[in-house]
Amino acid sequence: MIVELGHFALILAFAVALLQSVLPMWGAQRRDGRLMAVAEPAAVAQFLLVGFAFVALTYAFVVSDFSLRLVVLNSHTDKPMLYKFAGVWGNHEGSLLLWMLALSGFGACAAWFGGNLPATLKARVLSVQGLIGVAFLAFMLLTSNPFLRLETPPMNGEDLNPLLQDPGLAFHPPFLYLGYVGLSMSFSFAVAALIEGRIDAAWGRWVRPWTLAAWIFLTIGIMLGSWWAYYELGWGGFWFWDPVENASFMPWLFATALLHSAIVVEKRESLKAWTILLAILAFGFSLIGTFIVRSGVITSVHAFANDPERGVFILMILGVFMGGSLALFALRAGALEAKGVFAMVSRESALVANNVLLAVAALVVFVGTIWPLVAELVWARKLSVGEPFFNAAFTPFMVLLALILPVGAIMPWKRADLGRSFRPLIPAAVLSVALVALIYAMQTGTSALGPVGAGLGLWVVLGAMIDLWQRGGRGPAGARLARLTRLPRADWGKVTAHSGLGITVFAVAAMTAWVTEDIRVLRVGESFALGPYEVTLAEVHDEQGPNYSTTMAEMRVTKAGAAVVTLYPEKRIYPVAAMPTTEAAIDYGLFRDLYLVIGDPQDGGGYAVRSYIKPFANWLWGGALIMAIGGLLSLSDRRFRVAAGAKRAADAVAAE
């Protein structure tokens, strides 16, 4: 019964979304307040209805209702409760419902917190948001209905893919989807502004918090995914340039560019058309990501159901929304006159350089991702594009970006002097170059990756610190510090996020360049040297988990005779899915992770054992997290709230 109610709620949500997309848009065109007023309650109602459908599906999973096709395909009574719950979105249909929940949630938030928006803009934003909802609800109801029943329910389900039975599933997709879908708000604002034909500093200020929120979610989502891959897949890789990873990375790059160009719109009323285009592209690429993940045109480890019918449907959604918005852009972009004037060397032009580098980097990733498809269609060449290509083609852009970042961040608006902007950064530059030389001299190989990554990381972090110190103005250190505490949160956010980027750059290089690896056959009782550590295979025994059987090893790690840690790597077999997984055992440390994996028993006795020392692994997730915290600080800036408060006060006065 609850399942049918959920199904019904989903259909109702579709009807509400239709109203939400048509009436307010019409009302805004005719300046009819009553029609525009439909937008807010409709957005909230759509969210509540989709929320109810989501709860209904979750209920079906939790009670293991095997009359539901989706539950049969993705669940099992023995599955632990956490995965029954998270398993709701561990499949195509359910994850689409989660996506829809996030989409309608953002719409509802715009209705709740958009109090200071002009009435017509708000009506149009919610209307565009409703239209996206219409498209995805139709997609769900027509091709991927999660509420389909089975005529003859089986006794038990087919279990969830064992690789997904991990706490990572509970957090990674929701964050990622909130990020993907959050960009729909930037898109709706862009399209609404194009229809209004007016973009000013206020628009920049309204659109930035939404973009920031989406960017924070996306950053955390990608970080969680990378961490999950690191500990779950069993060889300690953290980024594979897999099509689906690229699908999440391209919107992130565009969102990052958009964040920066929206600042220029807000502060200087320049780069308007470009910012609108970025907002369209950022969401466009999150739609392309959806297409890549769910259509199966590009094979990937992550691929959900490979169904051509669904692929065509998403391609249609993509075509309508991108075609429509880009056509609108072509018609209206000319009307967006820029106001701020800036010189060739200025903060504005530095942000333009940032935008060009990020956008081109994203397009390089895009070209690489779809190249196999293009080559097969056009030249009938079956080929692959993978990690080595992306490392070679993408990295130079990030190196350039890191090089110009501290200089650009410190430049004044309008007109800058390169020499004067660079002067305070000289100590940072000297220290960074010295670090490169020092590491290059100390390391054994001739690879430039480690030293250059460390130097760039230090340069970006020091640059951010100097930027902050400069903001304190002149005078004694005490007065400067006092001034720093009064700086807007956005400034702290900028410095924090940039430092996080520097740390991430360093960690990526360090983890790739300085990893220690060992592969060998080890008998119980034997030990071997791994870097400065001594690893002993103390014992191997079998155990039963709730829905799997496992071979668990006990490995003792010592350093110079002193015990460091005892780790228990596992090899599990999930009988229902007939699939083995490796559960690496990791000792997390500030400067290194110890990463141990147990493999198969060997013919001559003993087990295959893989072990790694991964230097600075935690700095990678830490750096990304610091970036996200920087975003949060910026989001909490007073200026995003002050206008809203003023409007509310004005309304209150008017109401009296």
- Contact positions with another protein (CB under 8 A) in 296-355: 299-301, 303, 337-344, 348-349, 352-353, 355
Q: Based on CB atoms, which residue is closest to another protein, 63 or 367? A: 367
Q: Based on CB atoms, which residue is closest to another protein, 124 or 571? A: 571
Task: Please tell me the number of Cα atoms within 13 Å of 270 on its side-chain side.
Answer: 15
One DSSP character per residue, 366-422 reads HHHHHHHHHHHHHH-------HHHHHHHHHHHHHHHHHHHHHHHHSPSS---HHHHH
Q: Based on CB atoms, which residue is closest to another protein, 84 or 272? A: 272
Q: Where would I find the H helices in 486-616?
A: 489-513
Q: Is 278 in the site for another protein (CB under 8 A)?
A: no
Q: Which amino acid, one-letter code, is at 13?
A: A
How far apart, in Å, are the Cα atoms of 150 and each of 175, 195, 641?
32, 46, 51
Binding mask 193-212 for another protein (x = CB under 8 A): -------x------------
Binding mask 521-560 for another protein (x = CB under 8 A): x---------------------------------------
**For another protein, which stretch binds (CB under 8 A), given 45-53, 314-322, 577-585, 628-636?**
577-585
Among 5, 11, 393, 429, binds another protein (CB under 8 A): 393
Binding mask 615-654 for another protein (x = CB under 8 A): ----------------------------x--x--xx----
CB-count burial class (<10 Å; 0-12, 13-18, 19+) for 378: exposed
Both tokens of residue 591? 């400067």
Measured from the CB of residue 601, what is the shortest distance to another protein in angstroms?
11
Spacing of C-alpha 104 from chain mean position? 19
Q: Based on CB atoms, which residue is closest to another protein, 367 or 403? A: 367
Helix (H) or strand (E) holding 537: strand 533-544
Among 80, 115, 525, 580, binds another protein (CB under 8 A): 580
Smallest Cα–Cα separation from 249: which of 185, 206, 302, 204? 302
Among 1, 155, 383, 477, binds another protein (CB under 8 A): 383
Measured from the CB of residue 640, what is the shortest distance to another protein in angstroms?
15
Binding mask 487-526 for another protein (x = CB under 8 A): --------------------------------xxx-----
Q: Based on CB atoms, which residue is closest to another protein, 314 or 350? A: 350
Q: Based on CB atoms, which residue is closest to another protein, 204 or 493? A: 204
Binding mask 147-186 for another protein (x = CB under 8 A): ----------------------------------------
Q: Based on CB atoms, which residue is closest to another protein, 488 or 601? A: 601
Interaction residues for another protein, span 35-64 (CB under 8 A) = none
Among 5, 297, 465, 579, binds another protein (CB under 8 A): 579
**Cα(245)–Cα(238) distance, integer angstroms:** 11
434's CB contacts (< 8 A; 6+ apart) are none
Measured from the CB of residue 446, what is the shortest distance to another protein in angstroms?
13
Among 34, 152, 384, 542, binds another protein (CB under 8 A): 384
Q: Where would I find the H helices in 63-144?
A: 69-74, 81-86, 92-113, 119-143
Q: Is 578 in the site for another protein (CB under 8 A)?
A: yes
**Cα(588)–Cα(227) distance, integer angstroms:** 12
Among 111, 597, 625, 627, binds another protein (CB under 8 A): 597
Among 379, 485, 590, 656, binds another protein (CB under 8 A): 379
Helix (H) or strand (E) holding 89: none
Measured from the CB of residue 232, what is the shortest distance to another protein in angstroms?
13
Measured from the CB of residue 521, what is the shortest distance to another protein in angstroms?
4
**Cα(258)–Cα(278) distance, integer angstroms:** 6
Smallest Cα–Cα separation from 6: which of 181, 136, 108, 148? 148
Q: How many C-beta atoms surround the C-beta of residue 408 within 10 A?
A: 23
Place of tokens 């001739």: 446
Measured from the CB of residue 620, what is the shortest distance to another protein in angstroms?
19
Q: Based on CB atoms, which residue is closest to another protein, 1 or 654? A: 654
Q: Is 84 in the site for another protein (CB under 8 A)?
A: no
Q: Is the Cβ–Cβ distance between 52 and 147 less than 8 Å?
A: no
Both tokens of residue 472? 């304190």
Q: How many C-beta atoms surround the C-beta of residue 638 within 10 A?
A: 10
Q: Based on CB atoms, which residue is closest to another protein, 141 or 353? A: 353
Q: Based on CB atoms, which residue is closest to another protein, 494 or 572? A: 572
Among 1, 152, 334, 388, binds another protein (CB under 8 A): 388
Smallest Cα–Cα separation from 405: which of 256, 185, 567, 283? 256
Q: Based on CB atoms, which residue is closest to another protein, 207 or 497? A: 207
Q: Based on CB atoms, which residue is closest to another protein, 479 or 650? A: 650
Bridge pairing between strands 585-587 and 579-583: unpaired
**Cα(50)–Cα(15) distance, integer angstroms:** 12
Measured from the CB of residue 523, what is the shortest distance to another protein in angstroms?
12
Q: Based on CB atoms, which residue is closest to another protein, 388 or 419? A: 388
Q: Based on CB atoms, which residue is closest to another protein, 249 or 321? A: 249
Binding mask 221-250 for another protein (x = CB under 8 A): ------------xxx-x--x-xx-------
How far apart, in Å, are the Cα atoms of 186 and each of 240, 268, 340, 373?
29, 19, 22, 30
**Cα(492)–Cα(567) distance, integer angstroms:** 40
Both tokens of residue 286? 């999150």
Q: How many residues bind another protein (CB under 8 A)?
A: 72
